[in-house]
């Protein structure tokens, strides 16, 4: 891959219903990643979300917009819509919906569909920069809390961003999903304003990004230098 493409990216946020072409790029890239690990379909990979007004997409692209390297979605809960996590777990534990509703008065939602392409594996696109971007926009979306259904690997990473296991559903917060030999953990950021349970260094970076959602930054993850043009200043 071209070295310039490897080191320079744009991470943008947008309302799903306002850009179906970019939504389709997200869907296709996510599908390829799922197929590569033997998962043909999961509830959160349904493309119906691109028509919903409460869904926001964060996409990592090449600066020229020709290539897409990863993405994540934030679904805002409004007491009418069903979050993907509920669809994924309701047959195992129908109470998940009620637990989510209990946090709705102060604003809650779900982070889901996180993926990055194999081309950028190990660069932190998914595990660092996309999650950081999602947490950074929570106050803009008026979300005090945020849910996520995490694999064992991503659950460990999610702690950096103030996600903690929510043990009150499933088997101590866990389910077999998206297939019987894969374990998923329900995690939640309870206080997006302060992120008190996160890694202090990471929290500092999130709060800095939150102060300026449209900014170009020199980033470094595990010795890999990147330049990222953040375009997260969405209208809601």
The pTM of this model reads: 0.92
Q: Looking at residue 210, what is its pLDDT? A: 97
Structure tokens at 146: 């945020």
Q: Is 209 part of any domain?
A: yes
Determine which of 1-5, 47-51, 129-133, 173-177 has the lowest per-residue pLDDT on average.
1-5
| Average of per-residue pLDDT across 57-79 | 95
Determine which of 37-51, 135-149, 209-223 has the lowest per-residue pLDDT on average.
37-51
Determine which of 31-40, 57-66, 188-197 has the lowest per-residue pLDDT on average.
31-40
- Asked if 110 and 75 touch (Cβ cutoff 8 Å), the reply is yes
Q: Is 236 part of any domain?
A: no
Which of 24, 14, 113, 18 shows the shortest CA–CA distance to 57?
14
Its domain, for residue 159, covers: 3-231
Q: Is 110 part of any domain?
A: yes
- Asked if 224 and 122 touch (Cβ cutoff 8 Å), the reply is yes
Which of 4, 52, 38 shows the shortest CA–CA distance to 179?
38
Q: Any idea what the CATH number is for the domain that residue 159 is in?
A: 3.40.630.30
Chain segment 96-114, per-residue pLDDT in tens: 999 999 999 999 999 999 9
Count how many domains the chain has: 1
Q: Is 202 part of any domain?
A: yes
């Amino acid at each position: 891959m071209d070295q310039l493409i490897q080191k320079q990216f744009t991470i943008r946020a947008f309302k799903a219903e306002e850009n179906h072409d970019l939504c389709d790029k997200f869907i296709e890239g996510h599908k390829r990643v799922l197929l590569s690990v033997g998962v043909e379909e999961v509830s959160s990979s349904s493309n119906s979300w691109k028509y919903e007004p409460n869904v926001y997409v964060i996409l990592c692209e090449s600066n020229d917009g020709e290539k897409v390297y990863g993405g994540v979605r934030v679904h805002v809960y409004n007491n009418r819509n069903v979050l993907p996590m509920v669809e994924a777990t309701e047959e195992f534990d129908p109470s998940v919906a009620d637990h989510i509703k209990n946090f709705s008065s102060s604003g809650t939602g779900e982070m889901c569909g996180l993926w990055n392409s194999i081309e950028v594996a190990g660069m932190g696109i998914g595990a660092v920069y996309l999650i950081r971007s999602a947490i950074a926009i929570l106050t803009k979306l008026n979300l005090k809390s945020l849910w996520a259904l995490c694999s064992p690997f991503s659950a460990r990473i999610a702690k950096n961003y103030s996600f903690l296991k929510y043990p009150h559903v499933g088997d101590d917060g866990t389910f077999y999903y998206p297939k019987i030999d894969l374990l998923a953990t329900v995690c939640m950021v309870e206080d997006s304003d302060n992120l008190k349970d996160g890694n202090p260094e990471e929290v500092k970076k999130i709060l800095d990004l939150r102060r300026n959602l449209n900014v170009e930054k020199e980033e470094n993850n595990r010795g890999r230098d990147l330049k990222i043009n953040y375009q997260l200043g969405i209208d809601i």
